[in-house]
Chain A
C-alpha cells in the first residue's frame, strides 16, 4: 500500500462546478500537509497548506482529518484556469516528503 494515496481521477467538470479531491496517508507521524498544483509537468507550486482547523483561500478550501488520516481539497465555482494536476504531499516529523500520484482536473466551458 502506498504511503499517500489520492483519488485517481481524472475529473472532467463544467465551469462553475464544485469538485472535491481526497488524499489518505498511512504514516501517523506525519506532521505537515499541503496541496500543490502542477501544470503540464512543470515544477509543482504550492496551492495551500492544510490544517486541522481548515484553511480557505478564495474558492479553495483544504481540510485535514488526523483521526481518519486524510486531507481534502474543495474547489468551488471552477474556472477553466483551474485545469491542472493537483498533488497532495505529506511531510513526516523526520522531514521526509511523500507525494500522492496526483489527480488531474479538466474544467470545460
Chain B
C-alpha cells in the first residue's frame, strides 16, 4: 500500500498568514494527489485535485504543487473560516490512502 505522510500534524497561525502543508508519498504517484478540507460535523470538501488543479468554486487562496512523491498545499492570507483539518489523498491506486491530516488553528 502507498503510505501518505503529512507534516505538520497541526499548526497555529494568525489571520492573514501564509500556511504550507506538506504531503509525502511512499512511492511515486505522478500527480494523482488530491487535497480535502474537513470541518467538524461537515462532509469533506475537495480543494485541489491532480496536485495543482483548483476545484471549481474553491477560492484561489488555495494552491497546490508537487509531483512524484512530494506535494504541498498552500493557503495564502489565512482567514478564520479556514480553520479545519486538511488531508492529502492519493488516487493512483487502491487502497486510496489519506494522509493523517493537518489541523489548522487560527
Q: Do A and B come from one complex?
A: no
- List the interface of chain A (C-beta within 8 A of B): none
